[in-house]
Structures are given as C-alpha cells and as structure tokens.
Structure 1
Amino acid sequence: MSTPEGRPPRVVAELGRPETPEETAARKAESSRRHRSNQTLRNLVLALLASLAIVLFLVLVVVRPTQPDRTPVAYDTVASEAQPQVKNTLVAPDLPDSWTANAAGLNTGADDVAAWSIGFITPANQFISFTQGIDANVTWVSNQLEKARSTGSAAVGGLDWKVYDRRDKEDTGNFAYSMTTTVGTNSVVLHGTAATKEFRVLAQAVASQLRNTDGSGK
C-alpha cells in the first residue's frame, strides 16, 4: 500500500501498522479542528485584553468634566422679595463672608404654615439648614426634626434653644445635630452636619435679628 504522493503509508505506533487513507483523513480533520479551536480561544483572549486596555485607558487618562461651582444664593435679596407675602420679618442672618447659601425660599406646606428656609454651607464645608415657621406649633417643629427628642438645651444670643444631638446614631443624614427656639410667632429650626461651634455662630446671628423684632414684623 502506498500513499497518493508515492510515499509509504504512515505507521501509527498505537496501531502497529500503517494507517488507512480513512484514518489519515480523520487524523488530519481532527488536527484541523483543534487548530481552529485554539485559534478561536486565542482570538477571544486577545479581544478581552484589548477591551480591558481600552477601559483602563478611559479610567486613567480621559479627563472627567468637573461640575461647575454653584453660584451662592443672595438670601437677603430673596428675603426682601418674599417679605410682602408674610406679616413676620423674614430672618436673613448677618454672617461672615466665609458662610454661603445654596438655597433660599418661602413655601407654604400642607399644614398651611409659611416656612422661610435657607441652606447654609459653613466655613468647614458642612451644611446647616435654617427654617423659620410663621404661626407654627409644636407639631410643625416636631415634623421638621423628624420627631426627634431633645437631648439638652443651650443659651445662645440671649435665647433659650433646645438641642437635638444625634451624632452617636447611624443614618441621621442632615439631622445629626439640631437646635430650635421660639420668639413670638416665629419658630426657628436649625439642623445639619456642622460642628456645634458653627451652629452657635448661626444661632447667634439668628437670635440677634429675632430680638430686634417683636415676632410679628410690626
């Protein structure tokens, strides 16, 4: 027996004899299959590595656009514009230039209480919310504080303030520390993430303005 090329048939050790044309064809077909399979696996690995390289490039090299700084809100101007809507003097505390506001507005809730609010960013880049409820009641104050219980009191700016310190609890968010006081028909709520000394700075400025009014704006 000879091959079509004139060479003697290949002797297969496992068979102990030359392989038949059919066996030769089967062997070559299996070899081709394994080659294609290995080639496909290599292509997949190369494609995966290329994809990972692109992702790494985007993460390390591409510059992410930064968010523009929000323009501070002139809360004293907003207070002046909103003042004709209510009888009480809207508090616009006089604070150092290192304090800024990111929001201010007068709104009336479902309880019909007009609430004047300012969101302050402190010099330490923390947040304190100021809210002045007009003709509010104790239920309104409790709702503003998510029904937290007072943990103490403090005298600041000639006013007595209730303190709500929940910094030892988890998930308090912007209600980690709070202060409340009442002057005439004004109920004031401060809450946020700032240190106690920054709360006292704001409380002092609020008290200074409240004590200069009779609580009704008249």
Structure 2
Amino acid sequence: MARRNAEPRIAAHLGRPETPEETAARKAENSRNYRQSQSFKNLIFALVVSLAIVAVVYFIVPRGEVDNAPQPDVAEIASQVADQYERTVVTPDAPEGWTMNIAEIEPGSPSVWTINYNSIPDAGHAYIRFAQAFDADEVWAAQALRGTQPTGTVTIDGVEFTEYVVKDPSSTSNISYALGVQAGTDFVLLYGSASAEITAQLAEHVADDIAALQQEGATHE
C-alpha cells in the first residue's frame, strides 16, 4: 500500500509552506546565531579567567611601599662647589618639613648654585628656588625673572631684600614672587610660586649667611 507524501509544514510567520530557499536561509541564520552565542560565552569565560589570574598575582606577589627618592646631600654638594669655585657657598638650613629635589651648580655666565624646594608644608604644589649667582648683580636677577622689575623692599632678620611681585606668572614659568639681595660679589635670589609669607620663611633661614657674605665682600673692598 502506497503512503501519501506528507504535506510541507506551514510556517506560522509566512502563513504558507517555506520554499527551499527560505528553509536554507532560516537554517543558516540559526547556525550564525548559535555561533555568535558561543563566541560571546567564550569571551566571557576568557575575561573571567583573566580577572582570576590578575587577582592571584595581586594577592601573591609581595608589595612594599615605594620609597621616596633620596634628597640631595646639600652640604656635600655645596662643599664640592665651594672647592671648585674657590668661594663661600650658602647652604640653607631650610624650615622643618621642607624637601628638595635639586641641589646643583648651573655653569654659565654667571654660574649659579641652585637648590629647589619642591615640597613645602601648607603650600600645595608651590615651590621655591634658592639661587646664589656668582659675581652677579640685580641685572642677572631681572633676567632670571624674565624682566620683572623690583616693586619694593622688605627687611628680614636685619637683611634688606629687594621684592619682586610678578603680575603675570604665566610669562615667567609660574614664578609669582621673589626676594633678592646683593651678597658681597654674589646675588642671592629666592623665587618661585610660593607666597610672600612662605618665601620670607626661607629668607629668615639664610639671612645670617647673606649677612656674612655682605661682610666678607665689604672686607675685600
């Protein structure tokens, strides 16, 4: 007895049987969706494994506090500079808590003994640079301050400093205030982005050394 061939299945979304082309397209789409689903699952699995490895490394590898970079040995460097240039070099006794990142001689005309204080309590990101320019005067100071002219004077611990207030710090590498003084044959300049009050603190700590240089210069005149 011969069997009757089954009629093609009616596709609900079409309201009629699928054509061979539509059937092939549907199967291809299902296959593509399946592969994409598997790829996404594999991606999630790989991400979880990566995070697990990072966690293991984080908790297993020993970690220690990063040491701060050592500060320059100002006294030692100053001694070498004094011997090399055969002159008295100021070694500031900075206020408590101040730290520095530079203590060096800048060769040139004039050569300048420089100390940069880059961390000052209660001063935010402000800095102050101490500079002793050898055989220099206020002309050098004006050059260092990009042409800024004196705005007055202030006496600190018996030493009269010339005061410089910079109106546009953006034109002077962020320098906003400075104190300068002739110290014998040298010119000492305290300058940076710190306030007048904080700059005066450093001036107090170098006033005696400056007075000694002034006296030394007067003796040799």
TM over 0.5, shorter chain: yes
Distance 1:81 1:183 in 2: 20
Q: 1:17 to 1:99 in 2, by over 3 A?
A: closer
Q: Deviations over 1:93-147 (max 9, x none)?
A: 34455444433222322xx212111223444465321111111144421222233
Change (3 A) 1:81 1:26: closer
Aligned equivalent of 1:85: 84
Give CA-to-partner distance per residue, 1:61-91, whole Å, 9 cap, x none: 8998654223233322322222123354211
Residue 130 of structure 1: aligned partner: 130
1:89, 1:217 within 8 Å by CA — same for their partners in 2? no
Provide the rounded CA distance (Å) in 2 between the counterparts of 1:69 and 1:46.
40
Alignment of 1:179-194 (within 5 A): 179-194=179-194
Q: How many residues align?
A: 209
- Report if the CA contact (8 A) 1:116-1:131 is conserved: yes
* Residue type at the aligned position of 1:192: G
Name stretches of at least 5 consecutive residues in structure 2 with no aligned partner: none
Please, which of 36, 46, 68 is the counterpart of residue 44 of structure 2? 46
Distance 2:63 2:146 in 1: 38
How far apart, CA to CA, are the structure 2 residues paired with 1:153 and 1:47? 72
Q: Distance in 2 between matches of 1:172 and 1:116?
A: 20
Partner of 2:217: 215
Larger RCO, structures 1/2 (Cα 8 Å, 6+ apart): 1
Residues 95 and 201 in structure 2, CA contact (< 8 A), matched pair in contact too: no
Please point out which of 104, 113, 118 is paired with 1:116. 113
Map 1:11-22 onto structure 2 (within 5 A).
Answer: 11-13=10-12, 17-19=16-18
| Unpaired stretches in structure 1, ≥5 consecutive residues | none
Letter paired with 2:110? V
Tell me which residue corresponds to 2:165: 165
AA matched with 1:202: L
- What is the DSSP-based 3-state SS (H/G/I as helix, E as strand, rest coil) of the residue aligned with 1:78? helix
Q: Name the CA shift for 1:105/1:17 in 2 (closer, same or farther; >3 Å).
A: closer
Aligned counterparts of 2:147 and 2:153: Cα–Cα separation in 1: 17
Confirm or deny: 8 A CA contact 2:169 2:175 kept in the other structure: no
Q: In the alignment, what sits opposite 1:144?
A: 144
How does the TM-score come out when normalised to structure 2?
0.70
Do the aligned partners of residues 16 and 175 (structure 1) sit closer, same or farther apart at CA in structure 2, a change above 3 Å counting? closer
The percent identity for this pair of structures is 33
Task: Indicate the SS of the match to 2:212.
Answer: coil
Question: Is contact 2:114–2:132 with CA below 8 Å preserved after alignment?
Answer: yes
